[in-house]
């Protein structure tokens, strides 16, 4: 099958690009002919709160040979992109969707390919965004109408999809493990590399720092946690870190929290997860989290709040703990239980048993089966 894959690829960086590269490689290994297409401009600078959208010399990125065509804010490129992809005559167009901003550009291209007889399948990270803006729902509906089918990676996304498109053809398939970062490091050497205390229990908050991820709740919980628990905050800040810094200072937690408030490049990822005893995700809202799948790659258990699809990814009492409510007290109780009951070895062993459930091969197979369903249903 000829598959055109339009989304974020090298030279762009971040979790979406990593996901796409892994799925792209899996589809090629299945024997498909896959051509990757990406953006010339993904976000205008004013809408991107991070340091840079593109790979730097310190990143260990997968250099997928993607053709750069689409400028999200230049409608003149929409038609050119559609014509270029159409000229290759793909059987299937695969895309990723995670925020309404991309609806006009990706939706236009999808609509043109769909009219030309190409099947269109989108992998949905989110349908309804965490941070809503006026006009979002109209943009989302526009995009959804221009697809034949979807892959939802959590029941929350499934629910949102069906609330806007009741007749949607879709499959529910969990986010695969991020397994491209390499092997774990030896724990003591990881701690020393990061200059972390070797006599403390390390909890890790990892990933882009945004308001809905609840870092403020976790910092508040640290007040009530034992002195032998040390928090590591690792990730690029979207916005300002100053409110968190003031919170840390107000509670005099500076000696119990180590901050790496910058983009964490791929080569460093194994060190952070190898140094940690548990990953904590105190999110206030969520669909699913790629951070969970990085942690599980390193057999590291996760403690997460019961929001969105996080509870689908973590089996409470087997691969991690689900916090029943987003409060400092609930976070504190979950972390205390984890260490008091010494759950790390038990949960790690269970995660190791379940790796096969989250393979990229299986995800690629699901897309192939969905394509076959589109053909049989005569939706093209």
Annotate 281-342 with DSSP letters as a single string.
Answer: E--SS-S--HHHHHHHHTT--EEEES-TTHHHHS-BTTTEEEESSSSHHHHHHHHHHHHHTT
Element (H, E) at 151: strand 149-152
Distance between CA atoms of 319 and 11, rounded to whole angstroms?
A: 34
Q: What are φ and ψ of residue 197, in 5° steps?
A: -65, 135
Partners of residue 205 on adjacent β-strands? 233
C-alpha distances in angstroms, 74 versus 2, 79, 174?
28, 10, 34
What's this model's pTM, rounded to 2 decimal places? 0.75
Instruction: Please report the pLDDT score of residue 129 as a whole number.
Output: 84
Instruction: Please report the pLDDT score of residue 78 as a whole number.
Output: 98
Instruction: Please report the pLDDT score of residue 71 as a whole number.
Output: 97
Ranges of the chain whose pLDDT falls below 70:
45-61, 287-288, 378-380
Closest CA to 303 of 357, 291, 287, 186: 291
Instruction: Please report the pLDDT score of residue 234 as a whole number.
Output: 97
What residues have CB less than 8 Å from 97, skipping those under 6 apart?
103, 106, 122, 123, 124, 125, 126, 127, 143
């Amino acid at each position: 099958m000829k598959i055109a894959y339009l989304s974020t690829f090298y030279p762009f960086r971040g979790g979406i690009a990593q996901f796409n590269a892994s799925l792209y490689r899996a589809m090629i290994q299945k024997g498909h002919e896959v051509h990757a297409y990406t953006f010339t401009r993904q976000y205008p600078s004013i809408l991107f709160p991070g340091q840079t959208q593109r790979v730097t010399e310190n990143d260990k990125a997968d250099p997928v040979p993607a053709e750069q065509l689409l400028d999200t804010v230049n409608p003149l490129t929409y038609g050119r992109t559609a014509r270029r992809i159409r000229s290759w005559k793909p059987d299937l167009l695969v895309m990723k969707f995670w925020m309404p901003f991309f609806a006009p550009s990706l939706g236009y291209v999808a609509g043109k390919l769909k009219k030309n007889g190409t099947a269109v399948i989108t992998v949905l990270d989110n349908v309804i965004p965490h941070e809503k803006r006026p006009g979002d729902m109209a943009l989302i509906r526009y995009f959804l109408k221009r697809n034949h089918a979807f892959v939802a990676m959590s029941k929350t996304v499934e629910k949102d999809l069906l609330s806007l498109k009741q007749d949607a053809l879709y499959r529910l398939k969990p986010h695969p493990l991020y397994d491209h970062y390499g092997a774990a490091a030896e724990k003591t050497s990881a701690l020393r590399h990061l200059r972390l205390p070797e006599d403390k229990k390390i909890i890790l908050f990892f990933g882009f720092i945004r308001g809905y991820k609840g870092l403020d709740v976790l910092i508040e919980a640290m007040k009530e946690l034992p002195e032998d628990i040390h928090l590591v905050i690792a990730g690029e800040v979207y916005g300002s870190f100053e409110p968190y810094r003031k919170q840390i200072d107000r509670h005099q937690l500076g000696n119990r929290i180590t901050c790496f408030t910058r983009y964490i490049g791929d080569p460093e990822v194994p060190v952070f997860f190898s140094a940690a005893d548990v990953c904590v995700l105190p999110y206030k809202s969520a669909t699913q989290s790629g951070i969970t799948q990085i942690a599980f790659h390193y057999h590291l258990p996760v403690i997460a709040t019961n929001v969105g699809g996080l509870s689908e990814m973590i089996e409470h009492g087997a691969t991690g703990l689900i916090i029943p409510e987003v409060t400092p007290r609930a976070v504190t109780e979950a972390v205390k239980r984890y260490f008091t009951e010494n759950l790390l070895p038990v949960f790690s062993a269970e995660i190791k048993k379940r790796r096969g459930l989250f393979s990229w091969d299986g995800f690629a197979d699901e897309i192939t089966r969905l394509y076959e369903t589109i053909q049989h249903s005569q939706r093209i």
